[in-house]
A and B are shown apart, each in its own frame.
Chain A
Amino acid sequence: MNIISVGVNHKTAPIEIRERISLSEVQNKEFITGLISSGLAHEAMVISTCNRTEVYVVPAMHEVTGEYLKEYLIAFKDARKEVRPEHFFSRFYCGTARHIFEVASAIDSLVLGEGQILGQVKNAYRIAAEAQCAGILITRLCHTAFSVAKRVKTKTKIMEGAVSVSYAAVELAQKIFSNLSMKKVLLVGAGETGELAAKHMFQKNARNIVITNRTLSKAEVLAEELGTNKVLPYESFKEHLHEFDIIITAISTKEYVLSEAEMHQCMIKRRLKPVIILDLGLPRNVDPDIGKLQNMFLKDIDALKHIIDKNLEKRSRELPKVNAIIEEELVGFGQWINTLKVRPTIVDLQSKFIEIKEKELERYRYKVSEEELQRMEHLTDRILKKILHHPIKMLKAPIDTTDSMPSRVDLVRNVFDLEEPNQSR
């Protein structure tokens, strides 16, 4: 039984190609059910995100190869003009397992250790399961991948540290102030960047967030969304600057929103209590000279990128630990795959013995009472269980070389005179 994976991702194809080949949830369902209903695959699943579209298939025919699946997906998306097979990767057997383990544990992601991919893999499995396209192999593969991801998350630091500018801003604020719930935050600008920073602040317990924006209604909407409901008119927010410990600016403007003189006055009013200004605007919103004021921490996007780079370096150092976990799980998964090869023999073996038992018991059905027959049945069950225990254990035992498995199966089939297995799957 094989499992093939083919797909495009950020390592194999540019964004235009990834966009062209990506599948919506509806298309995803249509694609995998098509594979199953046409008899091409026993099982199928597709992971489709902004950075990857990957197909996982347990083929039902020898003709269904990696190349076949690439062409099938290109044809499904009607993308022959733009997408070529060279844009795809393909993996087989343990290569597929390793790949999905790497994907789920976020070491194959564009941003190393990002936190969204596991949810996306889970969603892909949910779609396949709902469409009844996830059989024993894909289910086991996905559950092992989830277990790998969980171990990676708890045993390594691959997901630690901020890797986005807005989150790095919060991380920096936490390195200055111990408890953000006790601090007053001013957000200047209610655009996408500001909103993200405010949400990160909120997640870290900052509750006293005041928003100001040139369009007041936008500030009000964001304040309501955050649940703080605190806004300041843009024209007058500077009168309150001294009240804030953290100031985040993220607006589009050619002139500085805060000048050195204004902040100097603010610091006098604050009796030099530290202030952090996070300038997330481009071009910068805050006069760089403000950074020279005493107890003033002014950080722009470049400074925050230093934090991100350091965190990514730290995450990279965790890769050997992650790979060790993946190797361990691969061994376990490989052993489980091998037990699948012996499953028909085990089923045949059990069926044969049950058949013998039932034939023998049938001979005594009218010679003994119902109660005695039940006792005999119970006794024979126990004897069969004990007789079959060792051959089944031997069949399921891990093997060192793959070629010893057929010989093991042949031995059991010959000894117990079992019929040839059905080769359909």
Chain B
Amino acid sequence: MNNILFNNLPLLVLNQLLSLFYLITTFLYGAHFFKDSQFAKRYKQPVLVLTVLTHVVYLGLLTSIEGYLINYSTVNLMTMVGLTLTITYLFIEFTTKSDKTGFFVISFAAGAQLISSIMTARISNAGITFSGIGIGVHLIAAIFGFSAIAIAGLYSILYLLLFRQIEQNRFELLFQRLPNLEVLEKLTMHAVALGFLFLSITLFAGMVEQRASGEAIKLLEPKLVTLVVIWLLYGTGIFVKPIIGWDIKHMAYLFIFLFVFVTILIVFMTFFSPTFHGLTF
């Protein structure tokens, strides 16, 4: 069988191990959040760090096939999304000392990694590879941008859930375990600011790379249009709060909408526009 995993035993083992680590990490974070398990509390962070390290090694091995060049394929993008989400969350956990939202972010990352693992085992074509700093920055910034959008969306959902629980006097699990509304608001707004920054870098690096390579990308190319639309919406989102005075509750609805919108667009484009901005190389 002509498949990158089945032709490479260490990669196959690491691929399976990584999925298992993600499931264990999600389980530990879930057990701590929902069951207040002290065992899970003690071991979840070390396991998360181990998962991130394994993921980095896995990506190294995966890209080594093409001479450590970034490969533009759905499976690679999915696994990169998983890694960036986890790294971003780990950064949040270390800096804010708040470990209560991990289950929600890591379960999403685990989902992305599981899909990537399953798809990697089924594909025979590795996809297009790229070299050069410009294109590398463009791709990595795009992936971090999507991760930030996802985190902003997830934290917005948590914000609204906690808001409703307090409003309706339902002082249940989420009330007891989630950080307070102000912290969730800060986490959301930081994720949005980061997302906007990464999307801006994506656009800028893309423009620089296009000029340098001389490749012609159509202005109405779906991925380009989508990226610009998302960038505009996010940029507007950042300035809506101070200028129009929208409260965070309405902002949360906007960010959830953007998250769902971006996710649907990515899925659609994966199936209907699988090329890199219409380029054939």
From B169, B172, B179, residue with most partner A Cβ within 10 Å: B169
Bound-complex Cα distance A273 to B249 (A): 11
Whether A310 contacts B247 by the Cβ 8 Å rule is no
Which residues of A163-190 are within 8 A (CB) of B? 172, 174-179
The answer to whether A295 has its CB under 8 Å from any CB of chain B is yes
The answer to whether B180 has its CB under 8 Å from any CB of chain A is yes
The answer to whether B171 has its CB under 8 Å from any CB of chain A is yes
Bound-complex Cα distance A391 to B200 (A): 83
Q: Which residues of B contact A310 (CB under 8 A)?
A: 171-172, 176
Given known A303-B169, A307-B171, contact A175–B247 (CB-CB < 8 A):
no
With beta carbons under 8 angstroms apart, the residue of A174, A272, A295, A307 that contacts B180 is: A174
Interface size on B, residues (CB 8 A): 18
Whether B247 contacts A272 by the Cβ 8 Å rule is yes
Task: Give chain B nearest CB distance to A341 CB in angstroms.
Answer: 39
Which residues of A282-333 are within 8 A (CB) of B? 294-295, 297, 299, 303, 306-307, 310, 314
Bound-complex Cα distance A271 to B245 (A): 6
The answer to whether B183 has its CB under 8 Å from any CB of chain A is yes
Task: Give chain A nearest CB distance to B280 CB in angstroms.
Answer: 52
Q: Which residue of A has the minimal Cβ distance to B182?
A: A178
Task: Give chain A nearest CB distance to B218 CB in angstroms.
Answer: 43
Q: Which residues of B contact A176 (CB under 8 A)?
A: 166, 180-182
Whether A175 contacts B166 by the Cβ 8 Å rule is yes
Whether B175 contacts A175 by the Cβ 8 Å rule is yes
Q: Which residue of A has the minimal Cβ distance to B172?
A: A310
Question: Which secondary structure characterizes the binding site on chain B?
Answer: helix
Q: Which residues of A contact B176 (CB under 8 A)?
A: 310, 314
Q: Which residues of B contact A299 (CB under 8 A)?
A: 169
Whether B245 contacts A178 by the Cβ 8 Å rule is no
Bound-complex Cα distance A271 to B186 (A): 18
Given known A172-B166, A303-B169, A307-B171, contact A177–B180 (CB-CB < 8 A):
yes
The answer to whether B167 has its CB under 8 Å from any CB of chain A is yes
Q: Which residues of A contact B171 (CB under 8 A)?
A: 306-307, 310
Given known A172-B166, A303-B169, contact A295–B182 (CB-CB < 8 A):
no
With beta carbons under 8 angstroms apart, the residue of B172, B180, B186, B249 that contacts A175 is: B180
The answer to whether A274 has its CB under 8 Å from any CB of chain B is yes
Q: Which residue of A has the minimal Cβ distance to B184?
A: A178
Bound-complex Cα distance A295 to B170 (A): 17
Whether A274 contacts B169 by the Cβ 8 Å rule is no
Q: Which residues of B contact A307 (CB under 8 A)?
A: 171
Bound-complex Cα distance A174 to B182 (A): 9
Q: Which residues of B contact A314 (CB under 8 A)?
A: 176
Bound-complex Cα distance A295 to B171 (A): 18
Whether B172 contacts A177 by the Cβ 8 Å rule is no
Q: Which residue of A has the minimal Cβ distance to B244?
A: A271
Which residues of B145-184 are within 8 A (CB) of A? 162, 166-167, 169-172, 175-176, 179-183
Whether B181 contacts A306 by the Cβ 8 Å rule is no
Task: Give chain B nearest CB distance to A281 CB in angstroms.
Answer: 18
Whether B172 contacts A178 by the Cβ 8 Å rule is no
Q: Which residue of B has the minimal Cβ distance to A309?
A: B171
Whether A295 contacts B169 by the Cβ 8 Å rule is no
Given known A175-B175, A307-B171, contact A294–B247 (CB-CB < 8 A):
yes
Q: Which residues of A contact B180 (CB under 8 A)?
A: 174-178
Q: Which residues of A contact B249 (CB under 8 A)?
A: 294-295
Q: Which residues of B contact A174 (CB under 8 A)?
A: 180
With beta carbons under 8 angstroms apart, the residue of A177, A179, A295 that contacts B247 is: A295
Q: Which residues of B contact A274 (CB under 8 A)?
A: 181, 247
Q: Which residue of B has the minimal Cβ distance to A274?
A: B181
Bound-complex Cα distance A152 to B154 (A): 37
Q: Which residues of A contact B166 (CB under 8 A)?
A: 172, 175-176, 297
Task: Give chain B nearest CB distance to A273 CB in angstroms.
Answer: 8
Task: Give chain A nearest CB distance to B223 CB in angstroms.
Answer: 37
Task: Give chain B nearest CB distance to A10 CB in angstroms.
Answer: 27
Bound-complex Cα distance A176 to B180 (A): 5
Task: Give chain A nearest CB distance to B126 CB in angstroms.
Answer: 47
Return the CB mask of B113-144 against A: 1 if under 8 Å, else 0: 00000000000000000000000000000000
Task: Give chain B nearest CB distance to A159 CB in angstroms.
Answer: 15
Task: Give chain B nearest CB distance to A16 CB in angstroms.
Answer: 35
Whether B169 contacts A177 by the Cβ 8 Å rule is no
Bound-complex Cα distance A307 to B165 (A): 12
Whether B247 contacts A178 by the Cβ 8 Å rule is no
Q: Which residue of A has the minimal Cβ distance to B178?
A: A175
Bound-complex Cα distance A297 to B182 (A): 14
Q: Which residue of B has the minimal Cβ distance to A157?
A: B36
From A175, A179, A299, A314, residue with most partner B Cβ within 10 Å: A175
A-B contact pairs, 14 of them (CB 8 A): A175-B162, A175-B180, A175-B181, A176-B180, A176-B181, A178-B186, A179-B182, A271-B245, A272-B245, A273-B247, A274-B247, A294-B249, A295-B247, A310-B176
- A residues adjacent to B (C-beta < 8 A): 172, 174-179, 271-274, 294-295, 297, 299, 303, 306-307, 310, 314
- List 6 extra interface pairs beyond A176-B182, A310-B172, A310-B176, CB under 8 A: A172-B166, A176-B181, A274-B247, A297-B167, A306-B170, A306-B171
| Pairs A-B, 5 closest by C-beta atoms | A178-B182, A272-B247, A271-B245, A303-B169, A178-B183
